[in-house]
Amino acid sequence: MSNNPQAKIITVFNEKGGSGKTTTTCQLAGTLGIRGYDVLVADLDPQESSAKWLAQRGGVNFKATSWTGHRYGENLNAQLETQSTKHEIIVLDCAPSVEQPATWQALLVSDLVIIPTKLNPPDIAALHAAKLLVKKAIEMSGRKIPARVVPVAARMHMTDDRKAVGDLLADTAFPVLTQRGDRKNREVVSLGDRKAYTRSMLIGATAHSLRGSEDSVREIEEMVDAILNILGLPDTAAATEGQS
């Protein structure tokens, strides 16, 4: 695959299961779809959690296309190159292991790597392996692949969570995703452990489809704004068309 495919490729991965990869993938991809981007969700996990999410209710509630990329094995990147000519953004939901060949292939062609993590000790410890793999991909590809950590926490105001985020912020090689704006005043972008995310999965949608999910929607929108900023893309696909 060339270093500049048509589609921007976002890889969502972590070493540890239950870190929020599929939730992050689907809320991110669905919101990009709502904003008018042509989005492909590439499920690289044999469990096909993302594919099942998008397929709920016949797929009518999700504004993105599903693709079970894990089935292509060693031919993944060749298939991704084909898919990149058909979509504007591809979001890859990786299996929970840094040893998966598909994860390694995905990292090599990524335009952005997102590493969601919960803030308990086992999850924080697992970040080390994920960061090492990203570092190796950067060295092997010769590309400066941006990587961002996204905290997933039940109560970000708790002392333990604030300390964990402070420790994450200290690692400047793998920054925590922050909101756009003045660098000195940027706030951390995080996803809460909210019922709205689980409920939206049951109807094959994002939290936007649910009543009373304003806090969840705000979190998702902040994440999408920050990610589009890193990728150099406008807030909506309509803005892209206006620039052409």
Q: How does residue 89 score in pLDDT terms, banded at 50, 70 and 90?
A: very high
% pLDDT > 90, the chain: 70
Domain boundaries, the chain: 8-238
Structural contact between residues 28 and 197, judged by C-beta atoms closer than 8 angstroms: no
- Is-above-0.85 flag for pTM? yes
Which is nearest to 46 in space by CA: 80, 26, 81, 72?
72
Q: Partners of 151 in the beta sheet?
A: 117
Which is nearest to 32 in space by CA: 14, 9, 49?
9
Sign of torsion, CA 150 153 155 159? negative
Contacts of 20 (CB under 8 A, 6+ apart): 116, 117, 118, 150, 152, 191
Distance in angstroms (rounded) separating the CA atoms of residues 24 and 12: 8
pLDDT tens-digit map of 100-117: 889 999 999 999 999 999
Q: CATH: 3.40.50.300, 3.20.20.100, 3.30.200.20, 3.40.50.880. Which one for 8-238? A: 3.40.50.300
Distance in angstroms (rounded) separating the CA atoms of residues 210 and 203: 10
Average pLDDT (191-202) is: 91
